[in-house]
Amino acid sequence: MWLCEQITGNRKTYGMNLIGGVRRDITPDQKPKILEVVNQIEKEWLKLIDAIQGDTPLMMRLKGIGVLKHADAVDFCVTGPTARGSAVKIDSRVDHPYSAYDRLVPEKKVHDTGDNLARTLVRLEETLDSIRLVRQGVLELPEGPIMVDIPEEIPAGREGIRVVEAPRGESVHYVVTGEDNRPYRWKVRAPTYMNLEAVPAMIQGMELADVPIAIASFDPCFSCTERLEVVDRKSGKIKIYTEKELIELSQKKCK
Amino acid sequence: MFKSKLKEALICFKAGRVTMPFPLGPELHPPEEGFRGKIEIDVEKCIGCGGCANVCPARLIEITDTETKRIMEYFLTRCTYCGRCAEVCPENAITMTKEYQLATTDSSDLYIKTELYMGTCGRCGRCFKPKTVLDKMMHPGFRTKAEKA
Amino acid sequence: MGKVIALAMCNVVLVILVAPFYEGVIRKLKALVHSRKGPPFVQPYLDLLKLLGKEDLQVTRNPLFSFAPILTFGSILMAALFTPMGTNPPLGFAGDLIVLIYFLTLASVGIMLGGSSTGSIYGAIGAGREMMLGMVVEIVIIGSLIVGVIHAHSFNLGAISAWYHHAGPYFSMIMAAVPFFLVLQVQLGKLPFDIPDADQEIMGGPFMESAGPKFALYKWSYFAKQILLTSLLMEVFIPWPKFGVIPLDIFINLIKVLAVMVLVGVIDAVCPRIRIDHAIRYFIGVWIVLIFAIAFALIGV
């Protein structure tokens, strides 16, 4: 995180992407620092993987628990490490490459047992793969401008849709441009929305003590599934806030 | 099983103590150049173009035009520290400092108000405000308080 | 008579006042394994003080709900009067091994009553788990202490301790010490066996509805069990060194308890929690070891 602060200006909210490019470049003196941090992470990660292999109580809670069968995984359309742990070979970085993923090609790590251990192993191996990609990217970074020239006025009423690979799976972004260079509608379909649908199939017939571990093994982000509706208690009517009203509410709150 | 437990315990002990004595002790990693902290406004340089208000994603900059002044209010309790206002400002009047310890019980600590005198008409000496909607659009920084478009 | 009362008061004071200190040691150790600084050693005292001052919520009209924490803490205090902590147990003439185990079981019963009296489903599940684990574990406690009884030909704990002090190490006693140590993890509510205790799985189990002073009493009884059961382990299975001077013996006992607590804390920090059916199978395996230990004791090894 300290490295990210040096590169982007903040430890977690990077804010690097703009329409047409990125905001900052990686300076030459940051490159050896990146490689050093990544090497350190790889060393510690390998030690950790080696240490937990023989841990019997841990394996007792991971092996054979929370099995999501291949047919169920395909039916519920789960994505990300949840799907790759059940022998479904999908990865949006490889199937629909975007940005630089046609040159930095990730490997699809697939396990076929479908239990907690498979999902954990998929994540562990993907970390090592990402370290390889970071190294390759830093060494092969070409020179050139960091932003493309875009027209001043983006025309209104145009649509855009794109699939992106988030750490939890496939994330879909849909944009409709509006006037004044602002979006009219922006919808994000987070991957946890579908992964959570597969939970009943995963935990059927299991003990109560195994349920939290099974749910945590596919790493749900519950805030991605939140949708807001305002219900009037007296009349029972449902009201959806428009953009103007939401902005007014938030501005009033902070004064 | 015992060997793996020993290995795990060794990994943990090797890291030492990672608790930092924040905020009473020295900082281990002070913020460097390019850190996006609280914004600071140099009123001398500001020309009141309103570019920052146009581009702020949190919509926290409000511009009001009175008879003689343009008042710009920054409600920094909503700030996301993205830094777009600093990038877009043509005069570099907004800069991002390295302050990040901003928790306070008084919200007026996070409120900035700048007042700029408007230009006067060359003939009569009075300040002017544009009339039609088209004039308003040509006038930069049209995000006023009255019409939140 | 005065000596008996003084010893009894000393035991009770040790259990009430010194016990949270060991919990502080365990927490500091856990923090050390996690690479952080951890709370100060007196933190459990501050926690108990804070909890005792909070509002006492009356969740149900069932009088058992208010009675259960008092039952738990009271039975632990009674058990303290029958435990050897460096010397003979203060009320050793009034009761022996069986009475001590009875009071310890009564504490578990108190937790079960408190959990199931509220009507909440998590409390019922927690009470059920406590019952299952208690059934498996009480036999191990009695079994490992029976080994000492067989050798010393007496149920009095002071007599067992004195006999073992003179007779030197026996193989069957060493073999019986290991199951008792495992039981320590269960009774103290430490990982990997803290199954009925505050779980991430069932949101606190039997303690979920108790707030403020009731929760303080439950926590205090767990802290007190630490010093009680560990003193029992040390006195019966490792009674050396003993000098005959009572304050010195008590002090040495406290040091030995500290060493065992360090071991308990390290195991607590590195293990994940085990499921209840795995734990029951594990302890049934431990019964077999115990049967061998009793067999060796009957031979006389």
pLDDT, tens digit only, all 255 positions of chain A: 888 888 888 888 888 888 888 888 888 888 999 999 999 999 989 988 888 887 888 888 888 888 888 998 899 989 989 899 899 898 888 888 888 888 889 998 899 888 889 999 999 999 999 999 999 999 988 888 888 888 878 888 889 999 999 888 899 999 999 887 788 888 888 899 888 888 888 888 888 888 888 888 888 888 888 777 788 888 888 888 877 888 888 878 877
Beta bridge partners of A163: A172
Answer whether A54's CB lies under 8 Å from B4's CB: yes
pLDDT exceeds 70 at position B134: no
C-alpha A87 chain-centroid distance: 20
- Is any Cβ of chain A less than 8 angstroms from the Cβ of B40? no
Domain count, chain A: 1
ipTM of the complex: 0.74
Residue C71: predicted pLDDT? 93
* Chain B environment of C33 (Cβ under 8 Å): 9, 12-13
Per-residue pLDDT tens digits for C8-25: 888 888 888 888 999 999
Residue B126: predicted pLDDT? 63
Domains in chain B with CATH codes: 34-138 (3.30.70.3270)
Neighbours of chain B (3+ CB pairs under 8 A): A, C
- Dist. CA A19–CA C131, nearest whole Å: 62
Domain chopping of chain C, boundaries = 2-299
Per-residue pLDDT tens digits for C140-151: 998 888 888 888
In 10 A of CB C68, how many CB atoms?
Answer: 26
Q: Does A53 sit within 8 Å of B77, measured CB to CB? A: no
Beta-sheet pairing, B111-117 with B69-75: antiparallel
Q: Does C270 sit within 8 Å of B9, measured CB to CB? A: yes
- Is any Cβ of chain B less than 8 angstroms from the Cβ of C270? yes
Using CA coordinates, name the residue in chain A closest to B30: A2
Q: Which structural domain, as residue segments, surrounds residue A94?
A: 2-253
In three-state form (DSSP H/G/I as H, E/B as E, the rest C), the secondary structure along chain A is CHHHHHHHCCCCCCCCEECCEECCCCCCCCHHHHHHHHHHHHHHHHHHHHHHCCCHHHHHHHCCCCCCCHHHHHHHCCCCHHHHCCCCCCCHHHHCCCCCCCCCCCCCCCCCCCCHHHHHHHHHHHHHHHHHHHHHHHHCCCCCCCECCCCCCCCCCCEEEEEEEECCEEEEEEEEECCCCCEEEEEEECCHHHHHHHHHHHHCCCCHHHHHHHHHHCCCCHHHHCCCCEECCCCCCEECCCHHHHHHHHHHHCC
From chain A residues 43-82, the ones with a CB under 8 A of any chain B CB are 44, 47-48, 50-57
Residue B128: predicted pLDDT? 60
Residue C151: predicted pLDDT? 86
- CATH code of residue A111: 1.10.645.10
Burial class (CB in 10 A: 0-12, 13-18, 19+), A97: middle
Residue B148: predicted pLDDT? 40
Respond yes or no on whether the N-terminal peptide bond of residue C192 is cis (omega within 30° of 0).
Answer: yes
Residue C164: predicted pLDDT? 85
- Which of B126-140, C110-124, C166-180 is predicted least confidently? B126-140
Structural Rg of chain C based on CA atoms: 19
What mean pLDDT is predicted for residues C145-165?
A: 85
Residue B64: predicted pLDDT? 85
Reported as type and span, the H/E element at residue C235 is helix C213-237
In 10 A of CB A193, how many CB atoms?
Answer: 18
- pLDDT band, residue C210 (cuts 50/70/90): confident
Beta-sheet pairing, A183-189 with A169-177: antiparallel
- Is any Cβ of chain B less than 8 angstroms from the Cβ of C37? yes
- What is the 3-state composition of chain C as percent helix, strand, coil, each rounded to the nearest 5? 70, 0, 30
